[in-house]
Structure 1
Amino acid sequence: MKALSLRDAVGESVLTHDVALPADRIAADFAARYAGVPATSLSRAEPTVRYTATGHRIPVLLGMYGDEDRVRSWLPGLPERSTVDAVAELTSSRIAPEHVTSVPCQQKVSALERLPVLRATPRDAGPFLTMGLVHAGEALSVHRMLVLDDSRIAIWMVPGRQLLALYQRSERLPVSINIGVPPAALVASALSSAVLPAEATKLEMAGALAGAPIRVADGVTQPVRVLADSEIVLEGYLDGTLADEPPPVSLPEFLGYDGESRAGLPVITVTAVTTRRAPAYQAVIGPGREQSVILGLAGALSVALSGTDEDWRLIDDLHFTPAGGGMLTLAVAIRKTSSTSDERLAHIARRIFEQHRFVKLVVFTDPDVNLRNPEDVWWAVTTRSNLGTDCTTFDGFRALPMDPSQAADWRGGRGGTTRTFIDATTPFELFTTTCRSFR
């Protein structure tokens, strides 16, 4: 048994855009026709769409992760609810990757210029790889990567990431960039390394999510592992070479705004490009549902993994909404056990903010609220909280530059270092007199 691959997951449930488009127009077409919040103002799941890029034989896949229910159906090991016991069971069932010698992703030799790498908007710094899963050592993560020419790629590594630490310790770091990977590997790559058990790797966690081992193989030009069931694999190395992204704009970020270009980015020198037979090139448009779903599913597991004490055992479920890009806004269902539970919410919120720096707003609800339904969460905020007394703000946190409201020039920079939680729960002593009529 092997983990579900991208082509197994896509199956027949794919729309085909019947007119070839230039690679720099595909993302805009998908945004206009299919994308939801935060790329557009429409609340909708995204379909999987296959595009043909003018002048390229390899089709482009967009929208594959744009429906949370669809993604959940691919991950038999994913807990229905993110609780202490559920994630403990997940980590205890992790499966080591399987090394194979029959390697689908190495069936054909290709070249970087043959890939239909997208430019999302006319303001982009250039064509970006947006769904390349970078594997080096035990690091497994997705980064924005600007294609500079037919053998060089500039990569932006967020400070604190495992890959950056490896790069800073190495004179020459071999890497593989895996495109079109098994869904479990992609979701596992977004887990926070800081909260994983010391002996656990992301590939093992991917095996737990998939209910089967992720297959890996040796690279053909570098001493590095590749994900054998990928659609496309680039091999290369980082050796301290640097390059700049052309200013002023890089590409759309996951929150729905343009990102800023960066100078002095590490450069990956590409030494090989291999593919499956008849591969597909997978990408995201930036601020669509796809990133929100991937980051949100992994984020909920990461928060649940952050504690095992009595406070964390009050957590009945967790959900990151796409409105916050799957990272900024977190709904937390609390199952209170006594009147003292009312007093623990501030402590839980502060711990979440301290351990997960992207979280900006936490909304606590009761278990009868559907965290995946924004209307239900807002119903709880409206009827179970008074913001003058039930909204608490902490100060002293690091601002997140990707969020415009945390920038120094946003209303004088006020609030950029704050984090807030809303108590939209019923006081414990009122449970029996305040409940939904049909519950």
Structure 2
Amino acid sequence: MANELNKDQSQTHDLRSAIELLKSTPGEYVETNVEVDPRAELSGVYRYVGAGGTCERPTRKNGPVMMFNKIKGFDDISVIIGLNGSRKRVGQFLNCEPERLGHLLKDSVQNPIAPVEVSADKAVCQEVVHLATDANFDLRKLLPAPTNTEEDAGPYITMGLCYASDPETHESDITIHRLCVQSRDELSMWLTPGRHIDAFRMKAEEAGKPLPISISIGVDPAIEIAACFEPPTTPLGFDELSVAGALRGHAVEMVKCKTINERAIAHAEIVIEGELLPNVRVREDQNTDSGKAMPEFPGYTGEAKEALPVIKVKAVTHRHNPIWRTTVGPGEEHVNMAGIPTEASILDMVNRAMPGKLLNVFAHSAGGGKLLAVMQFKKFAPVDEGRQRQAALLAFSAFPELKHVILVDEDVDIFDSDDVLWAMQTRYQGDVDTVFIPGVRCHPLDPSQTPEYSPSILQTGMSCKTIYDCTVPFHLKSHFERSKFKEVDVKRFLPDFE
């Protein structure tokens, strides 16, 4: 519904205004002037401070955003990490209750505000320009792209908003991809199957032409979240920046790039301009021979790819004293950026099929926001029995990379894992409440999806999707009522209680 939408998100119109908002909120922001090495050390620090997610333990969930003001080997540039690392912060940025974020994003897709173009004099992202034709141009010296671990294939751009357009229809798409710095002016780009920019790249390659692409780094959180929508919610030709516009309450401003025929986000801290070259491939770990890429959302380090498309960089533009934006691959940031759009997609598809029955969805942290969804379903009448499983099937269609669904009743807090597991212990019998769907494509980064792991898997990338129905059969509802406690005003006894 339109009334779910945030009509004025003026408090956070770029990265710097988002930071100022956090500084005014106790416990949400920390910074350090101690020099940090971007190679493994920076991510190593934040693992303890607030990475969360599927990161190696010990880590801290819902820790503060952290700003590193002194980066080894780089002057006049700082690095910020963890911006979207707590659901509470995302809710603060989008002026929405954390548990309603999926509903807000669903509504934003239905009420898009298209991006607009502004003149170069209004684009702070172009205050400073570095051309690749300059003799001293070197991405490795310009940009403090970190490595998450000491065995990464190289420095990675983990929060680059990649923007490109269909060479035939000129429809545009924005997404976040794994980008590894390979040389002074080259990046490798891993595109998981089905991504729209890859479709654009293949069209250009078939015509023997490069695909212009801009990479905007350091933007406001609404754009980072909206960029993570996937089909079928945002089909080919749907510009996710229009979703960000709805979330912000006003259009995202774009600017023409300096060296390529494409646009970039005008308020970005840093923009990389380049072209995806036709028929050029590079081994991802050519500079390290580590065999590893970087830590990914399931909590494991991905294998380096043998042959990835190459972006030939033409220029880097940025604000004065720019702020580099990065994230820890398996951290809670990925959960929120990927997971909240996943929730919106599931809510949209199920509500269209059976309005009012799916109350909420949580793309759980344990699945990195992609592999596991907890769905809160309400049965109103005997005829609703079984529809909860239909809702789960629709969830797999709404988000094809989803692996597991846990169904719970309306009295279970889907954001409280203890409550979800309680429902599984008391409202679930494995032999009658488990539904297996073998032989289906899932996410390629799940390491258990190999024939070596299970004989039911014919080829890598296939999976057995599973529904865990932890809802009470409707005719037994009266036997599963939770103990009722007296409603009291706790603040009468503890005035500072929250």
Q: What range is the shorter-chain TM-score in?
A: over 0.9
TM-score by structure 1 length? 0.93
2:248 & 2:316 partners in 1: Cα distance?
26
> Which of 53, 60, 63 is residue 46 of structure 1 equivalent to?
63
Q: What residue identity is the alignment partner of 1:418?
A: C
* CA deviation map 1:34-78 (0-9, x unaligned): 322311334621311112320112111111111111012111478
> Which of 8, 14, 37 is residue 17 of structure 2 equivalent to?
8
1:236-385 correspondence to structure 2 within 5 Å: 236-240=274-278, 241-246=280-285, 247=289, 248-311=291-354, 313-385=356-428
* CA deviation map 1:390-415 (0-9, x unaligned): 12211121254311222222255669
Q: 1:426 aligns to what?
A: 472
**1:423: how far off?**
1.1
RMSD, aligned α-carbons: 2.3
* CA deviation map 1:144-163 (0-9, x unaligned): 01101121111001110000
**Alpha-carbon distance change, 155 to 105 in structure 1, aligned in 2, over 3 angstroms:** same
Q: What residue identity is the alignment partner of 2:118?
A: V
- Asked if 1:90 corresponds to 2:104, the answer is no
Q: What residue identity is the alignment partner of 2:202?
A: Q
**Aligned-residue identity in percent:** 30
> Which of 105, 119, 127 is residue 125 of structure 2 equivalent to?
105
> Which of 187, 210, 232 is residue 194 of structure 1 equivalent to?
232
**1:133: how far off?**
0.6
**1:305: how far off?**
2.8
Q: 2:74 aligns to what?
A: 56
Per mean C-alpha deviation after superposition, the further-off stretch among 142-151 and 424-433 is 424-433
1:422 & 1:140 partners in 2: Cα distance?
34
Per mean C-alpha deviation after superposition, the further-off stretch among 319-328 and 374-383 is 374-383
**Alpha-carbon distance change, 309 to 399 in structure 1, aligned in 2, over 3 angstroms:** closer
* CA deviation map 1:269-318 (0-9, x unaligned): 11111111221101112111111111111111122233554436421111
Native 8 Å contact 1:81 1:318 kept in 2: no
* CA deviation map 1:77-98 (0-9, x unaligned): 78954788x6664334221213
TM-score by structure 2 length? 0.83
Per mean C-alpha deviation after superposition, the further-off stretch among 424-433 and 237-246 is 424-433
**Alpha-carbon distance change, 83 to 29 in structure 1, aligned in 2, over 3 angstroms:** closer
**Alpha-carbon distance change, 166 to 414 in structure 1, aligned in 2, over 3 angstroms:** closer
Partner-residue secondary structure (3-state), 1:350: helix
Q: 1:139 aligns to what?
A: 173
**Alpha-carbon distance change, 87 to 131 in structure 1, aligned in 2, over 3 angstroms:** closer
2:161 & 2:102 partners in 1: Cα distance?
27
- Asked if 1:164 corresponds to 2:198, the answer is yes
1:145 & 1:368 partners in 2: Cα distance?
43
Native 8 Å contact 1:79 1:90 kept in 2: no
- Asked if 1:75 corresponds to 2:94, the answer is yes
2:63 & 2:73 partners in 1: Cα distance?
26
Q: What residue identity is the alignment partner of 2:125?
A: C
Native 8 Å contact 1:358 1:400 kept in 2: yes
1:199 & 1:159 partners in 2: Cα distance?
17
1:151 & 1:250 partners in 2: Cα distance?
19
**1:348: how far off?**
2.3
**1:340: how far off?**
1.9
Q: 1:234 aligns to what?
A: 272
Q: What residue identity is the alignment partner of 1:62?
A: I
Partner-residue secondary structure (3-state), 2:192: coil
Native 8 Å contact 2:350 2:391 kept in 1: no
Per mean C-alpha deviation after superposition, the further-off stretch among 395-404 and 54-63 is 395-404
Partner-residue secondary structure (3-state), 2:402: coil
- Asked if 1:185 corresponds to 2:223, the answer is yes
2:162 & 2:196 partners in 1: Cα distance?
11
* CA deviation map 1:199-243 (0-9, x unaligned): 853111111112221111111111111101111101111121221
**1:368: how far off?**
1.9
**1:433: how far off?**
4.2
Q: What residue identity is the alignment partner of 1:73?
A: Q
Larger radius of gyration: 2
Native 8 Å contact 1:82 1:304 kept in 2: no
**1:262: how far off?**
0.7
**1:180: how far off?**
0.8
Native 8 Å contact 2:402 2:442 kept in 1: no
Count matched residues. Answer: 438
1:76 & 1:34 partners in 2: Cα distance?
22
**Alpha-carbon distance change, 43 to 117 in structure 1, aligned in 2, over 3 angstroms:** closer
2:235 & 2:326 partners in 1: Cα distance?
31
Partner-residue secondary structure (3-state), 1:422: strand
> Which of 37, 46, 66 is residue 30 of structure 1 equivalent to?
46
**1:17: how far off?**
2.6
Per mean C-alpha deviation after superposition, the further-off stretch among 93-102 and 156-165 is 93-102
1:93 & 1:232 partners in 2: Cα distance?
29
Q: 1:220 aligns to what?
A: 258
Point out where structure 2 has 5 or more consecutive residues left out of the alignment.
Answer: 1-7, 131-136, 166-171, 486-498
1:245 & 1:88 partners in 2: Cα distance?
36
Partner-residue secondary structure (3-state), 1:326: coil
Q: 1:120 aligns to what?
A: 148
Native 8 Å contact 2:113 2:250 kept in 1: yes
Q: What residue identity is the alignment partner of 1:183?
A: P
Q: 1:417 aligns to what?
A: 463
Point out where structure 1 has 5 or more consecutive residues left out of the alignment.
Answer: none
